[in-house]
Amino acid sequence: MRTVLLTSAAVLGAAFLLPATAHAIEDPYIAARASTLGVGVEGGVKVAPFFRVRGIVQGLNVDYDDEIDDVQYNGKFKLGSAGVTADFFPFNEGPVFISAGIFSNGNKIDASARPTSNTEIGGVTYTPDQIGTLTAKARYKSTAPYLGVGAEWSLYPAVISLEAGAFVQGEPKVTLTSDGSFASNPAYQSSLEQERRSIEDDLDKTKVWPVVSLAVGIRF
């Protein structure tokens, strides 16, 4: 959240330093978009001088590497979301806008670990053969609200915008399975559940995802 606040302050600072233009009902636009939620496209149209509606589609697969309780997990953080925002331009002259939206959220993590030496799982030590491969999956709420602040500048027909905000995807739900020789052992299953909870606690930091984005497009 500190990242969101600092970036939002930077966006607002840039907005007030650059020239302002009076608002009007401008032509629709389409833009390429890069953000901490992935790369994609967005399109927007002003339905009133101070009010705009946008549609956004974005996604990206990034490497996920994390050590939790001395177990090294490797995999992918698969980002994918699509949604709409309502943007309000509060000043008569100026590029600043406040944004609120709702997104279909497909963000997820798929990771695995295969220990090569004796390893603690849930506080109990097991051999590599007993553990086998650990497969972890994290899933978030299917719908995520978004709040942000941004600035948009136009040099017709070009348009550029910077934005920062928070994507509230909720606490992840984690599943953890193992295919070792102890996979069906009740005591090991208890240890595995403890490990699953540790992963879930570690990923709690991702429930509010900081968003920083840049969009460059053209009006038509």
Domain, as residue range, for 108: 2-219
10 Å CB burial of residue 41 (0-12, 13-18, 19+) is middle
Confidence of residue 5 (pLDDT cuts 50, 70, 90): very low
- The position carrying tokens 């299917």 is 142
pLDDT in tens, 167-201: 999 999 999 999 999 999 999 999 999 999 999 99
Element at 169 (helix H, strand E): none
How far is residue 208's CA from residue 173's CA, in Å, rounded to a whole number? Answer: 14
pLDDT value at residue 15: 43
Give the SS3 label for residue 71.
Answer: strand
Q: What is the CATH number of the domain that holds 212?
A: 2.40.160.170
pTM (two decimals): 0.84
How far is residue 106's CA from residue 98's CA, in Å, rounded to a whole number? Answer: 24
Question: How many structural domains compose the chain?
Answer: 1
Residue (of 97, 105, 89) closest to 209 by Cα position? 105
pLDDT value at residue 59: 98
pLDDT in tens, 27-61: 899 999 999 999 999 999 999 989 999 999 999 99
- The pLDDT of 204-219, averaged and rounded, is 97
Q: Is the pLDDT of residue 92 over 90?
A: no
How far is residue 3's CA from residue 164's CA, in Å, rounded to a whole number? Answer: 9
Give the SS3 label for residue 186.
Answer: helix
Element at 116 (helix H, strand E): none
Residues 6+ away with beta carbon under 8 Å from 27:
157, 219, 220
Q: Is the pLDDT of residue 19 over 90?
A: no
Q: Is the pLDDT of residue 7 over 70?
A: no
pLDDT in tens, 107-162: 999 999 999 999 999 999 999 999 999 999 999 999 999 999 999 998 889 999 99
